[in-house]
Structure 1
Amino acid sequence: MELKPEQLAARLESEPLRPAYLIAGAEPLRVLEAADAVRAAARAQGVAEREVFEAEGNQREPDWAALEASFNAPSLFASRRLVELRLPTGKPGKDGAAVIADFCTTPAADVTLLVTAGEWSKKHAGKWSEAIGRIGHVAVAWPIKPHELPEWIERRLRSHGLSAERDAVQLLADRVEGNLLAAAQEIEKLALLAGEDRTPLDVTRMQSLVADAARFDVFRLVDAAMNGQPLLVSRMLAGLRGEGIAVPALMGMVVMELQRAAALARVAAGGGNLAAEFKAQRIWDSKQSVYRRALQRHPAPRWEAFVGVAGKVDRMVKGREAGDPWLGLERLLLAVADPKAVRLLTAAAA
């Protein structure tokens, strides 16, 4: 039976760990939190060893032979292990599907398999996912529909000890525009800003608290660019400019994120260990999928060029180079979000 990620989290609190789990879908926050729930349940039930398998460098798929060997090898440091398999495309291919199905036929007593996928549809399912469902659970994070978002926000508010009137909830839903990660971040900030006051939030107080949190919008702006959302980038830049935010307040985060992406792109292009570079750059698991999607849109040299353009915008801000820094920043972030917009940078240079 297919579960919602939230249903899986509830089951993990009341049942022993199963041999295998598949968590997939286009809502990265729900996938991440469900996977974290599996990890937490594993730790609570004495699973101390963890292995991660994913495509590295120029490889299109994980090392299936190494995964199969891990299934068959005894644990070195603990009696039980959590083996994680990350499939961004949701497609293990013929060899991978066979390895997963074979494991599910006779699962090793000391292994729990956790498969996560960033994409999912009925076309992705197959005998391998059905095999996981027979011995474990399959949880799919289907996109939250617009009419479902207010209810999702209300549940999230309650989990943080908050409540809000219906109009206030709708105001927050309109603000995040369907982005669950942004909604979760806003609610965390609301919990901090509300302090000990847990009276229900009305529209006026919600507007006030959201306005107090406006300084955090630079994070959402960069996320929108990295996530490939050019229309949201333009709207957010217009909003920030209207609120009187200055370009220098944005450039530090923009430059840092572009430098990170350029470093990751160099490692990926050279066939290096991307997982190690994520660790070196101190990029959390929850943000890695954002970078992976961004890296797929542009080759490594282009990320270096983006860093150079950011430097040019910074010089505009300081009056060392002619040009409108707001226009320069918008063109840069639109190019990051959409390869078609790279021509805007070329035209500006000409």
Structure 2
Amino acid sequence: MELKPDRLAAQLAAEPLRPVYLVAGPEPLLVLEAADAIRAHARANGYGEREVFDADGRDFAWSSLEQSFRAPSLFSARRLLELRLPGGRPGKEGAEVLSGYCAQPPEDVVLLVTAGDWSQKHAGKWSEAIARAGHFVHAPLVRPHELERWLESRLRQRGVRADHGAVQRLAERVQGNLLAAAQEVDKLALLADGAPLDAARMESLVADAARFDVFRLVDAALNGNAAQATRMLAGLRAEGEAVPALMGMVVMELNRVAALARVQARGGNLAAEFRAQRVWDSKQAVYRRALGRHPAPRWERFVAMAGGVDRIAKGRVRLGEEPGDAWLALERLLVAVAEPKAAALLS
């Protein structure tokens, strides 16, 4: 059975835990919260042991997951097994393991499968088997025309009353970033004091979550949003920022993606590298989308070009190099990160 994330809580309350759940989609907040709801419900129902498997590369041993299905528990009679499937595709062996589990799910085991990407091309007999034996929770992107309704629902759940103008103002502030929106709604629940909010009071209470800062600038580029990255860069320039002040974060993030790309290119353990790079689960989808747009050597090229931008900004150009325009060079770099076709601009 397929569920929307906002229907999951009611479904969990209305029936015993199913043996398997698939939570998938490109909206990190919705995937994270749906998975958290299933974990919490499992704990409340006595599933005291939790084991996590990261199937993020060709070297993942599906046999280890299959053996765990039938293995006796050491600490609890009931177990929650989690399979993280970042790309949304288990491959032939994984599909067989998951279909076999769904055909004969063991007692006192719940399997939670999470994926950071999903479309019809990811579906198959294995996901259909999960939908029959349990539930498939799809977490699609919240489109711009859906954002206000999503915010209204979120505010209502947190006990915040806001008129349409206030919701519009909040939507303008967060610019489609659900993680930022969730943080602002939680803050409003504390600050509103039960009083209804109009546009003016909303303006006074919320932080400018969509401010033109370097963190959001890099995220826009990694998410493939070239237009937003360009607009935010122009905003930073208008606010009087200097390119050298931005480059520390830009270089750090590009180095991080380059390191992840090297591990992915050699078929290594990407989940372990995420942990080594201290990338939270909720942020991993951003990096995975970026990794899917460029091969590993190009990320190394981006890092080198970022160093060039920094030198231009500081007036430390090498012999034979033109001084150049640091703002233009940075814009070209960010657009190329966001859009593979624009990579030619760096040549």
Q: 1:133 to 1:175 in 2, by over 3 A?
A: same
| Match for residue 233 of structure 1 among 225, 229, 236 | 229
SS of aligned partner of 2:213: helix
**Displacement of 1:93 after TM fit?**
3.7
TM-score (norm. length: structure 2) = 0.86
**Displacement of 1:150 after TM fit?**
0.8
Aligned 8 A contact 1:310 1:332 in 2: yes
The answer on 1:47 being equivalent to 2:43 is no
**Displacement of 1:309 after TM fit?**
2.1
| Match for residue 133 of structure 1 among 128, 131, 134 | 131
The aligned amino acid for 2:250 is: V
| Match for residue 313 of structure 1 among 309, 313, 319 | 309
| Match for residue 261 of structure 1 among 257, 262, 267 | 257
Aligned 8 A contact 2:99 2:125 in 1: yes
Aligned 8 A contact 1:53 1:67 in 2: no
What per-residue deviation string (whole Å, max 9, x for no partner) do you get for residues 217-270 of structure 1?
322221111111111111222233233333344323222211211222222233
Q: Residue 111 of structure 1 aligns with which residue?
A: 109
**Residues 119-198 of structure 1 aligned to structure 2 (within 5 Å):** 119-122=117-120, 124-187=122-185, 191=188, 195=191
Q: Residue 303 of structure 1 aligns with which residue?
A: 299
Q: 1:187 to 1:119 in 2, by over 3 A?
A: same
What per-residue deviation string (whole Å, max 9, x for no partner) do you get for residues 151-171 of structure 1?
211222344554432112113
SS of aligned partner of 1:297: coil
SS of aligned partner of 2:83: strand
Q: Residue 68 of structure 1 aligns with which residue?
A: 66
Measure, in 2, the Cα distance between the counterparts of 1:229 and 1:209: 28
- The alignment yields a C-alpha RMSD, in angstroms, of 2.8
Aligned 8 A contact 1:334 1:341 in 2: yes
**Displacement of 1:214 after TM fit?**
5.7
Q: 1:173 to 1:304 in 2, by over 3 A?
A: same
| Identity, % of aligned positions | 66
SS of aligned partner of 1:21: strand
What per-residue deviation string (whole Å, max 9, x for no partner) do you get for residues 64-97 of structure 1?
3332222232234443332222334433344322
TM-score (norm. length: structure 1) = 0.85
With 61-70 and 337-346 compared, the bigger mean Cα shift is at 61-70
With 291-300 and 211-220 compared, the bigger mean Cα shift is at 211-220
Measure, in 1, the Cα distance between the counterparts of 2:155 and 2:30: 16
The aligned amino acid for 1:80 is: R
Q: 1:214 to 1:53 in 2, by over 3 A?
A: closer
SS of aligned partner of 2:262: helix
Aligned 8 A contact 2:174 2:210 in 1: no
Measure, in 2, the Cα distance between the counterparts of 1:20 and 1:330: 46
Q: Residue 279 of structure 1 aligns with which residue?
A: 275
Measure, in 2, the Cα distance between the counterparts of 1:145 and 1:200: 26
**Displacement of 1:35 after TM fit?**
1.2
Measure, in 2, the Cα distance between the counterparts of 1:186 and 1:244: 26
The answer on 1:199 being equivalent to 2:199 is no
What per-residue deviation string (whole Å, max 9, x for no partner) do you get for residues 182-223 of structure 1?
4335545x549x746553333234345556556673222211
